[in-house]
Chains A and B, each alone.
Chain A
Amino acid sequence: MATYILRRLIQTIGLLFLLSIILFALVNLAPGGPLSAYGGRRIRPEKIEILKRQFGLDKPLPVQYLYWLAGNDWVKVDTNGDGMGDELGSRNGILRGDFGFSYRTREPVLKEIGLRLPNTIYLMSITMLVALIIAIPIGIYSAIKQYSIFDFFATTFSFAGQSIPEFWLGLLLILIFYTWLRNPWTGEPLLPPGGMFTLDSTFSLSDRILHLVLPVLTGTLGWIAWYSRFLRSSLLEILPLNYLKSARARGLPERTVIYKHALSNALIPIVTLLALDLPYIFTGAVLIETIFSWPGMGRLYYQAAVERDYPLLMAVLIIGAAFIILCNLLADVLYAYLDPRVRYE
């Protein structure tokens, strides 16, 4: 297993390198560029030349990629536009942990990401956790009571949960819980429309939870549907198997048969599925963050994409890609750990 993990990690480095080339080319070759958003339509030729030099956009694309990867502190760069190298560059490149600075804010990219990432992890991890806590019992009960009224409602709910667009659901929830429903004691809206906490207030756990309710509710609906349906199917495949019949024949109570013998095997694919969904915890959800004014990675990515903020965009993409690859590896390893029949050589 250790050899397998090591081999996969080495492959990951190669894959990330290839991905970085493809992403860099795609991002830079897409129509539109950062200078059109930088200074508005009225940007003038003088300013364009200055900005190009400052952003390193005056170099051919392969050179730009090389500087992005390995930095430019080993070559003299042209700072005054005379075509001659004047002084050593100041970038270290991502291989040395320098993702550059955001074109929009002129702040280091890692600082920008560092400000947003904790907010996204906070929201998405709780969303995923709530989804699992609700989805697992629904999935189990639906499987045990297949074709019951509960199963019928759970199935309907699942289809609805996966079909309802998040932006519509989010706005509907805001309408209900912020505009229509009132706290009977204070007369204030029942729930806030967005943000992470009430400004100008001391820290309060209840305030934090109130701000989480709507975005978490919006985000969990789809996941609840997804995980509960998956668990239901997984259990339904296992329930008719002989080893469970044998357990029942030995006189084990039905509760033990289901929760000890059936569920433990039915959860294996769920755990691997969960590992594959983990990147969402880091990449965030654009629509939920936008509707609920949540300062997370999804909004940061969207803004960087719209404004062609290449360094920020590349950093988010590469870090996201790394998370996805590592979570895939985690899923494989977990699968082998949880199911001894699976072996990697």
Chain B
Amino acid sequence: MFTQKRTLFFLTVTVILSLVLAACQAANTGEPVPVTGSGKDITIVIAEDPPSFNPIVSDTGYDALVMELVMLGLTDVDPQGNVFPELAKELPTVDNGEVKIDESAGTMSVTWKMRQDVQWQDSKPVTADDVLFTWNASSDPDNGSWIPGSDYIDSVEQVDQYSFIVNYNTVYPGYLTQFGGEQLAIWPAHHCDAKQGFVAWDCGRQPLSDGPFVLDEWVEGDHLTFTKNENYYVSGKPEIDKVTVRIVPDDSVRKTMMLQGDADIDMWINVNTANDLQNSETAKVSLSPTDRWVMRLFMNEAAKGTTDATAHPHPILSDVRVRQAIRLAVDVDTINSEIFHGLAHPTWTEFFRPPYACGVPRPAFDPEAAKATLEEAGWKDTDGDGTRECHGCSSGAPEGYKMEMEFITYAEYGEPLELTQQLIAEMLGKIGIKLNITVVEGSVLWDLAENGGIEQGGKFDIDIWDDGYAGVDPTDYLWEAYSQEAIKPGDGWNIARWDNPEVDGLIDQAYTLDEQTRKETFCQIADAIDKEVPIIHLFTVPNADAYSARLEGVQSSVNDLVTWNIADWKIQ
């Protein structure tokens, strides 16, 4: 018979096992080293571990954030969009003779000269060897990666220890940030193992620093600590002695830590957090002076499930008047005030920020005009159920076809986008367009067509999310988002399947260093998009980072992560 002794024995074993496991864990964690704090320590809170210090590989934002602490590129971009040199001695231009264009061949070469006073943390100099090593590793077809504009490079030649030439097979306007910016750093040839491959090498997670800080410790899932790089090339900088990056997955906990003064930086805060922090004495919000992420509606001009708008036009959206009517029916100001606390900026064109801002007039919010446009396009509600049907429509839909579509967004953005989606569905419902809402994971929305990716496979009617070009050169982005070549699944992201030969020609024309031509060309593209409405641009979402009131010099940027100028930060 079961006895009390057995019960006690079992419970005792459970207790002892638990305590032993707890003790083992405590021993396993290792003892944190006490630091003689100078009071110049800061804590950055982020949602998840960076996969590595190499953002080219996975592009999560967290990798770029920590990369800025330890690695340098040839150049970087400030919040206003100005490129400034880091490892480069100066910016190569046509005017200073370092950029040479062969008009007849349509090629160009760029000579880069590097600073000679930058060292790795082991005191070895940063040289052109490291740049060539990085280029060779990143462009290795077997183990490399893809960096913007790399298709346009024919060769990279070393001139001497501190200079090299990049030969392009075209005129490439984005050359200034090709070996720098928010993603690419120059990696140490003597530390990284090329055989491991650019995307997999150990130095991506154990970097050798030439930036303002040195990685001390990385306890995965918990924290990373960095201390000041005594070899940093800018004398007297950084002013901060130690940076702790803590992994705090929940955004409301991060906000609470900011409010309590236990965190100094919370990157990429959402509008609700920005609104909550507005009156805080301990935490401030830094907004980027320019925006980048434009919330937009993508309207599939090809029938759902297909990717060729000519062979299989969408039964509703292939008619430009329908797309124009949708634009007329969306009240951006209401979305902004009701959901984004008035912090969003209404935006109606791809070209809204300097240096390529175009004077496209803002479209009106006019539901009555939208209804009239739909009537004119042959979409009428004859059965009185509130949803229009095709009665003589010219988009190829059969007579009586209901104006009902699926409206998709991605879950990771969170509540503001889902509310926006619902509000837009309501607005379009009022003009007789029925939208059925779907929310999916980003990994499903943006996956390859062969894996069931929704956008690449054309398996959607309308979807909404935020997008925008990085840095200051929109040319590659335009090719990827609007050119005919980018329609085919796998080749690009023209997911509206908008085929406009005139725009294709204009995009080709934008590959020049003549700024005047570029400005004019971009504005012509802006006009074409405005006229044919393959995408409806709605508003920009502010790029906001929270910082503690004791920090000086923090400036959020759409062109980089908030740590882009961490060497200049001061603690009051």
Contacts and interface: CB of A to CB of B under 8 A. Distances in A.
A99 B14 CA distance: 30
B257 A193 contact: yes
Nearest to A179: B256
Interface string A116-127: 101101100110
B146 A293 contact: no
A202 B246 CA distance: 18
Interface stretch (A6-14, A154-162, A256-264): A256-264
A203 interface: yes
A113 B269 CA distance: 30
B34 A201 contact: yes
A31 B452 contact: yes
A45 interface: yes
A50 B29 contact: no
B3 A295 contact: no
Contacts of A44: 146
B144 interface: yes
B219 A33 contact: no
A125 B415 CA distance: 35
Given A36-B446, A41-B493, A54-B199, A264 B4 contact: yes
Interface string B158-195: 00000000000000000000000000000000000000
A178 B260 contact: yes
Contacts of B279: none
Contacts of A105: 49, 51-52, 205
Interface residues of B, number: 80
A80 B141 CA distance: 7
Interface stretch (B89-97, B220-228, B550-558): B220-228
A267 B572 CA distance: 61
Contacts of A119: 25, 29, 221
B480 interface: yes
Contacts of A196: 29, 222
A264 B5 CA distance: 9
Contacts of B490: 45, 48
Interface stretch (A145-153, A299-307, A314-322): A299-307
Contacts of B200: 54, 106
B357 interface: no
Given A39-B57, A50-B142, A293-B249, A202 B221 contact: no
B21 to A, nearest CB: 5
Give me the 6 closest cross-chain CB pairs, A-B, nearest first.
A295-B221, A32-B443, A122-B25, A36-B447, A32-B444, A40-B59
21 contacts: A106-B204, A115-B221, A121-B21, A122-B22, A125-B21, A129-B15, A132-B11, A171-B252, A175-B256, A189-B260, A193-B260, A198-B32, A263-B4, A264-B6, A289-B249, A293-B248, A293-B253, A299-B249, A300-B221, A337-B6, A340-B2
Given A31-B451, A291-B253, A306-B443, 18 more contacts: A32-B447, A32-B451, A36-B444, A36-B447, A36-B453, A38-B58, A50-B141, A50-B143, A81-B142, A115-B221, A118-B24, A118-B28, A199-B32, A271-B7, A271-B10, A293-B222, A338-B6, A340-B2
Interface of B: 1-4, 6-7, 10-11, 14-15, 17-18, 21-22, 24-26, 28-29, 31-35, 37, 41, 48-49, 51-52, 57-60, 141-146, 197, 199-200, 204-205, 219-223, 225, 244, 246-250, 252-253, 256-257, 259-260, 262, 440-444, 446-448, 451-453, 467, 480, 490-491, 493
Interface of A: 31-42, 44-48, 50-51, 54, 79-81, 104-107, 112, 115-116, 118-119, 121-122, 125-126, 128-129, 132, 171, 174-175, 178-179, 189, 193-203, 208, 259-260, 263-265, 267-268, 271, 274, 289-293, 295-296, 299-300, 303, 306-308, 334, 337-340
